[in-house]
Amino acid sequence: MKIKINGADADIRPENEKTIGEVLSALDAWLTGSGLRLSGLVIDGKEVKAGEMELSFAKNIDSIGTIDIRTSSLLQLIADGLTRTMRDIKEFQEAGFNEKAAFLAKWKESPQACLLAEQTPQLFDWTIKTFSGEGTSPQVLTALYDERLRELIDPAGEMERTSRIVEDVCVRLEEFPLDVQTGKDAKAAETVNVFSGVAEKVFRVYNVLKMERAIVEITVENIPINDYIAEFSKALKELLDAYERRDTILVGDLAEYEMAPRLRCLHAAILGAVKGVNDVHSA
């Protein structure tokens, strides 16, 4: 049996594998390590439909001349899942009352739902709640999906576009102790929420850039970025725990002297690395 990947001959020969499923399992680690996922399968020139995939895995390779394994990057698959779900949200909005009741069960079985549950569980949970009539509105959910899609399609541009909001939230963090002392509890709570969201966004966009190999390994304040992010995440958890305990003194110190400068440095380092790569490519 000849094995192809995306139409090109692959220098791969089955050893002890007897079925297509065993061949694909043997290739799974290589695909994952390359940032790829199985997105389709062609057996002897015939494309296997999604509903037929499981049956095809049981086929004996001795009865097959050629299999063509179609792959896509994980980022491409996630972007496709987001786009498909945005269409699902529109369909949900246009559905009648009785149709809405059955919409969730059908959507949960879709390929895009399974992928999002694995790769973006928070977004998946929000979608479940919206389709259940218990969460945010479809319009707000669509805006969240649109933001995540921008992060995948143009992560460098999205990191640049966060510059203003990063600086704004850092200023709010520096003002946080005074807000707490003067009883501005609503503003203080909003600052914590906005900061958490912005920090998560910076982490997400960095991960996309890393997966795209758009930036090389970088350091932040002479610390490897992965170690810096780990320390940042630890400090963020400490701040949220202290806020939950209403330890206003500790929260104020962490916000002003730990989180504000850390967020500025992390964002600046990632943005600088992106610009450095772009300058090299344009030279």
Tens-place pLDDT, residues 185-205: 999 999 999 999 999 999 999
Overall average pLDDT of the 47-59 stretch: 86
CB 61 within 8 Å of CB 23: yes
Contact 17, 79 (CB under 8 A): no
Confidence of residue 280 (pLDDT cuts 50, 70, 90): very low
pTM of this structure: 0.80
Is residue 43 within 8 Å of 20, Cβ to Cβ?
yes
Task: Give the confidence band of 89 by pLDDT, cuts at 50, 70, 90.
Answer: very high
Of the candidates 29, 58, 73, which is a domain's last residue? 73
**217 and 194 inside one domain:** yes
250 and 278 in one domain? Answer: yes
What pLDDT is stored for residue 214 in this prediction?
A: 66
Q: Are residues 39 and 140 in the same domain?
A: no
Q: What is the mean pLDDT of residues 83-111?
A: 91
Which residue among 55, 73, 91 closes a domain?
Answer: 73
Range of the domain at 46: 2-73
Tell me the mean pLDDT in the region 210-231. Answer: 86
The Cα–Cα gap between 84 and 113 comes to 9
Q: H helices of 38-184, where?
A: 53-57, 74-94, 97-108, 111-119, 121-131, 138-153, 155-161, 163-181
CA distance 263 to 69: 42
Q: Does the pLDDT at position 220 exceed 70?
A: yes
Work out the mean pLDDT of the chain and round it to a whole number.
89
Query: What is the pLDDT averaged over residues 201-210?
Result: 92
Mean pLDDT calculated for residue range 90-95 = 94
Q: Do 59 and 95 reside in the same domain of the chain?
A: no
> Which residue, of 153, 168, 201, is where some domain finishes?
153
Q: State how many domains the chain has.
A: 3
1 pLDDT higher than 90: no
Question: What's residue 278's pLDDT?
Answer: 53
User: Within the chain, how many helices (H) and strands (E) appear?
Assistant: 13, 7
CATH code of residue 60: 3.10.20
